[in-house]
Structure 1
Amino acid sequence: MEIFSSSQTFVACVTLVTTLILFIGFKWFTFDSKAKKSLPPSPPTLPIIGNFHQLGSSPRQALRDLSKKYGPLMLLQLGSIPTLVVSSAEVAREIMKTHDLAFSDRPNLSIPNILFYGSTDIAFSRYGEYWRQLKSIVVLNLLSATRVKSFRQVREEEVGLVLGALGENNGSSVDMSALLGSYTSNVLCRVAFGKTYYELGFTDKLKKFVDMLGTFCVGSYIPWLSFIDRLSGLLGQAYAISKELDHFLKGVVEDHLNKKTTGEETQDFVDILRDIQKDKTIGFTLNTNTLKAVILDVFVAGSDTIFSSLDWAMSELIKHPRVMKKLQQEVSEVGQGRPMIPEEDLEKMPYLKAVVKEALRLHAPLPLLLAREARNGVNLMGYDIPPRTQVIINAWAIGRDPASWTEPEEFKPERFINSPIDYKGLHYEFLPFGAGRRGCPGLHFGVVLIEIILANIVYKYNFALPNAVKDVDLDMTEANGVTVQRKNPLLVMPSPRF
């Protein structure tokens, strides 16, 4: 192999630097020219990175602050990707209702492509016939009201285990966050797989998977710098995590192929999806990779979001004794001294539902909804939006917008009493599960999990904070991530109410 002399190295370096300067100049000129078109307001950008430097450690807060200056519809340049940021109910309605079809696509992102078998799942799949058929099959067969009810026994058994664990720790400190995390994981595992797979460490594998999903990938926003993701080892880590989960899921599918059924047990998600695979009349081929991608969707969409919603709901109840007392009065009237409140009684508790909604408003499970992408050019509120423009909807900011909410930073469940506002995607000031075609199809499944455990925990127990910490002084510091969770675990001291 020929070795460069020092002069050759110098010439190569000069050429590289010159090319880079010309490229930066071209990108700057190109974006500056775009700014003269009829585009939404936009903060100044830097070469190459655009507005990335303005996102900080908490993008949801940084974007809300920027929107106060540039408006509820603003355009950012994230690397080479033009990105609309939506921070009001009015603009969200335009995106998710008026122009829902035009903004129904997903961007092509490197990490989801690796983790979800080429983005063949529902959440990250591109919009088209494949996505429509897959969503229809999943909603009808996995997430219908009838199917959700069929897993009632699983939920109630896991609620019983949580209540038992609290009883065993009467008078001592309990890590409530860990207990709620186990509850969520156990229900999802039993519903999806038929058992928990403790011995294979599935929960730890899933955590690594979710953490990787939230990792910033340079190549997704600055394609010509994608080599950085390879050199940093990011893509290698993503492939390793994907391989680890794939090996686990292959084992699960094989277990289901080999298991003996009695005909009496409730089918889990893998059973149902396997039956769909065999059905030649549906006109859709559900291959094994798609099956595994859908199962991963269930866990990613359910585990962190349900857990964080529960954790924040309990935190807010403990921090606000007035609300806790009012909720306990309601559940006591419904429970009437029985060992547990059953699911059919949830409809008798409007204040419980208001508490859950208020927790979801203040602590949106996914503060920045999954990015959409414009399928074609759109005229949006007088602005010309080019094709392939990404859209980020700041559900966290919308849920705290003073234009929509009185005292938006305060935890007041009463605002939802006798209010038509719901989380089903018809009220754009409240978007914990998104809306439109790309709204979360599993919202009913998730809300039932939250309501049933919350009702029974406060029905059976009172809670105090360790070390004589006052309720109002409970630490509510947030950690940054794909979902917004507590920075520190919620530690409580339970005591039986009766």
Structure 2
Amino acid sequence: MASPLRRSAAEALRLGFDGAKVLPFSAMPGPKWPVVGALPKFLSYGYSKMFQYYKDLYKEYGVIVNASILNDPIVVVSDPREWRKVFQREGRYPNGIASDVWMGELVNKKHGFPDSALNATGETWQKGRQALQKDIFSVASATSYCEPVTDAAQQVVDGLKVKLAKDEAVDFNGVMVDAVADVFTAAVLGKPLGFSKGLATEEQRRWAKGGMRSIELTATMLFQPHMKIWPEAFQTYREYEELYGTMVRTTKQLVEETIESYKDFSGPEDELPYVVRVARRGELPKDTLAYEVQSIVLAGLDTTYHVLLWNMLNLAQFPHAQEALREEVFRVLGPSAHFTRDKLSEMPYLKALMRETHRFSMPSTLLTYRFLDEDVALCGYNVPAGTRIMMMSEGLQSDPELVEDPEEFRPERFLPEAVQARKSDPLKSLIDHKLLGTPFSFGARMCLGARLADMEIMTLLAKFTASFDFQVAPNQSWEKVSKTMAAPEPTPKVIFRPR
């Protein structure tokens, strides 16, 4: 058998790694310049093309790559079966992306804000995470917000219909941002703030846009670790610091107003918004709740927006997919496309569409990363403790040896019968591995609101498809660029016509 060093990516994935022979870290392939490691190659792509950098690492070096920069040991792993080993060893108090948000810690220290438990480590993180996830993380708790989210999605659709009736210009990007902000606030604060209908205040609009911009700046700094040396020298950090302080004030106000408005509510818990449920449990100090909610806002708005944007853009580009989804929506939900908790599991095409979007126009190449406290053997190499283990999937999911016609958008490839048909092929079936199917990560530090975000996206896709025919305007072109996640640049114009 060839050594892991000499295998092509597809060959390595086909054969797997039995652990019989583990090569040293120094033998791992990758761009290794003296002293600086992969830094020259990393910088040659620029931040806007980071997704292409990691995709090319897969093509050039295979399923595991030494991408260390300066004194920061980094390993990029593309085999989801090997990722499982990482999650199995992450321990009681795992360290990942959230615990590496150094810019947030710096702002909190400078301005006297309390640190969010979600960005902490050790027992502080564990207690905070347990308190915050009880009312949002499980399928049962996430789907308990189905009614307010569906109602908010209807308001989004109604707001767009009013604009079209008045023959107002429709900004596709703005529609997506407002839609996500409304369904998110419906679940978290108990009602949509009215972004889609022009009812949100200017302060509230700055809050939503500021949250998304803050995450974009965070990602920029995370992927450019040299900024840690002197943060204030970079406009990126200075803008982040200013936005953070502004958001803190608005978040505190919104949380306090929501809790006050429900102080006399004695109905079922399922009818309470998220922040009130958490507050009533009393497991977090009252004076830190708003800061925890801000962390959820920062993570929730931006990620959900990017996933929704690519799904809607693919529906606009590919009429066959839009019509197939519309037929399923009408059959399962009816023309109103009104979701209920029991209907979420009855829409295989909608789920296949979202899965194909995640493969075809992946919002984020990076699933997640982890730091382990012990050495681990991955893809036939020893990875020392403390190494940043980055789990990337775009290269694998666009590899023609694994995916038939990867440049074509085919939601049908993820319908249950198609998945079943390739189960006997260990290589082709790898794209169905559970750890490849979501942009929201896995493990103990996976996105807290992943299931809520999925429900929000499904609801909005159903409502938009039932209510409109939409398509990309003629003569549109764009390129994929890295921001927080990958986005089309410029955002194309999409034409909506009410049905």
Q: Does residue 1:270 correspond to 2:313, yes or no?
A: no
Q: Deviations over 1:359-397 (max 9, x none)?
A: 122233432234321222223343222221111222333
Distance verdict in 2 for CA 1:273–1:349, change over 3 Å: closer
Q: Among 352, 361, 379, which residue is 1:354 paired with?
A: 352
Q: Among 473, 479, 482, which residue is 1:480 paired with?
A: 482
Q: Does residue 1:240 correspond to 2:242, yes or no?
A: yes
Q: Among 39, 42, 58, which residue is 1:51 paired with?
A: 39
Q: Does residue 1:331 correspond to 2:321, yes or no?
A: no
Taking the aligned partners of 1:401 and 1:93, their CA distance within structure 2 comes to 21
Taking the aligned partners of 2:66 and 2:320, their CA distance within structure 1 comes to 42
Identity of aligned residues (%): 21
- Residue type of the partner of 1:339? S
Taking the aligned partners of 1:61 and 1:404, their CA distance within structure 2 comes to 19
Contact 2:328 2:347 in 1 (8 A): yes
Q: Among 200, 203, 206, which residue is 1:200 paired with?
A: 203
Q: Does residue 1:64 correspond to 2:74, yes or no?
A: no
Contact 1:111 1:235 in 2 (8 A): yes
Deviation at 1:433, TM superposition (A): 2.0
Contact 2:352 2:415 in 1 (8 A): yes
Contact 1:477 1:486 in 2 (8 A): yes
Q: Does residue 1:446 correspond to 2:453, yes or no?
A: yes
Partner-residue secondary structure (3-state), 1:77: coil
Q: Deviations over 1:87-136 (max 9, x none)?
A: 23343333334x444993236442142467676343x433x333333323
Partner-residue secondary structure (3-state), 2:434: coil
Q: Among 80, 101, 105, which residue is 1:113 paired with?
A: 105
Give ranges in structure 1 of 5+ residues lacking alignment.
1-34, 280-285
Match of residue 179 from structure 2: 183
Distance verdict in 2 for CA 1:176–1:240, change over 3 Å: closer
Q: Deviations over 1:137-169 (max 9, x none)?
A: 222223333332332232122221222233331
Match of residue 29 from structure 1: none
Contact 1:355 1:413 in 2 (8 A): yes
Between stretches 105-114 and 317-326, larger displacement belongs to 105-114
Taking the aligned partners of 1:426 and 1:125, their CA distance within structure 2 comes to 30
Distance verdict in 2 for CA 1:68–1:487, change over 3 Å: same
Deviation at 1:86, TM superposition (A): 1.5
- Residue type of the partner of 1:271? V
Match of residue 85 from structure 1: 76
Deviation at 1:417, TM superposition (A): 0.9
**After superposition, where does 1:346-385 map in structure 2 within 5 Å?**
346-385=344-383
Partner-residue secondary structure (3-state), 1:393: strand
Partner-residue secondary structure (3-state), 1:478: strand
Partner-residue secondary structure (3-state), 2:220: coil
Q: Among 129, 132, 136, which residue is 1:142 paired with?
A: 136
Distance verdict in 2 for CA 1:380–1:353, change over 3 Å: closer
Deviation at 1:460, TM superposition (A): 2.3
TM-score, normalized by length of structure 1?
Answer: 0.78
Deviation at 1:37, TM superposition (A): 5.6
Give ranges in structure 2 of 5+ residues lacking alignment.
1-22, 194-199, 424-428
Between stretches 483-492 and 251-260, larger displacement belongs to 251-260
Deviation at 1:185, TM superposition (A): 0.6
Partner-residue secondary structure (3-state), 2:461: helix
Between stretches 402-411 and 42-51, larger displacement belongs to 42-51
Contact 2:468 2:497 in 1 (8 A): yes
Contact 2:310 2:363 in 1 (8 A): no
Taking the aligned partners of 2:404 and 2:448, their CA distance within structure 1 comes to 29
Q: Deviations over 1:434-473 (max 9, x none)?
A: 222232242221111111111122122212444xx2xxx6
Aligned residue pair count: 444
- Residue type of the partner of 2:290? K
Q: CA RMSD in A?
A: 3.4
Match of residue 494 from structure 1: 496
Distance verdict in 2 for CA 1:121–1:491, change over 3 Å: farther
TM-score, normalized by length of structure 2?
Answer: 0.78
Taking the aligned partners of 1:215 and 1:429, their CA distance within structure 2 comes to 24
